[in-house]
Amino acid sequence: MWSRALRRTGQCLIVLGLVLLYFVAYLLWGTGRYTHHAQSQLRRDIVREFSLPADDPFRRLPAESPSPTPTPRTSGKPIALLRIPKIGVEVVVAEGVSLEVLRGGPGHFPGTAMPGEIGNFVVSGHRTTYGAPFFNLNKLIAGDPVEVRSDTGYYEYRVTSLKVVRPDEIAVTYPVPYHRETKPTKALLTLTTCEPRYSAARRLVVFAELASGQTPTGKP
């Protein structure tokens, strides 16, 4: 009787282990495939809609000028390309931070500034699942470049600092982080993701500032 019970228990544990294994494989591989497909479509859309060079959308074009009709802030629509050379990230940023939008890649926090604008351009993204675009965000240090390409031009931000905060710390999204009533005078970029990896207990925040000499048209 005991041997039969132990055998059944062992079989149940094996089945449970396989289920967990498949679940983990889906989180790390299956969700990544979904994001890869979504990013491919978003990239095609943004290259076409912004008339960007398909081979290198970040290339600055001669006599570039802002679009007369800025991209509408429609949830799920691509608004910018984001490149972080140090950690090998190049992704399309869509409007919104809903679960559905973030499955396709990083999202722009609604109501915050757009690329190059005075204020705080806030972008959130996954760190482990759905392509894990911000997996190595912790490796950035002050001075590292973060490039952004939108319909109004090319912008290069420089990292100023990193901080770990509570998940509900919305003060990092203010036009001037932590100073809600202060009028912004600089173009800032804030990247947020989960901290630590494989947990949503806290948030890792990267603060950056538009590099000196950049203008709304992307010309030095």
| Cα–Cα dist 135/139, whole Å | 9
- How much is the pLDDT for 88? 97
CA distances from 85 to 40, 45, 144 (A): 19, 23, 9
CA distances from 200 to 22, 61, 87, 123, 162 (A): 22, 40, 21, 17, 17
Q: Give the lowest-confidence range in 16-20, 82-86, 171-175, 201-205.
A: 16-20
Tens digits of residue pLDDT in 8-19: 655 444 544 433
Q: In the chain, pLDDT over 90 holds for what percent of residues?
A: 67
Read off the pLDDT band of 41 (50, 70, 90): very high
Domain locations in the chain as residue ranges: 8-210
- How much is the pLDDT for 51? 86
- How much is the pLDDT for 134? 98
- How much is the pLDDT for 135? 97
Q: In the predicted model, what is the mean pLDDT of residues 192-214?
A: 90
Q: In the predicted model, what is the mean pLDDT of residues 110-115?
A: 96
Q: In the predicted model, what is the mean pLDDT of residues 134-138?
A: 97
- CB under 8 Å to 163, separation ≥6 — which residues? 172, 204, 205, 207
Read off the pLDDT band of 56 (50, 70, 90): confident
- How much is the pLDDT for 31? 81
User: Is residue 25's pLDDT more than 60?
Assistant: no
- For domain 8-210, the CATH superfamily is Sortase (2.40.260.10)
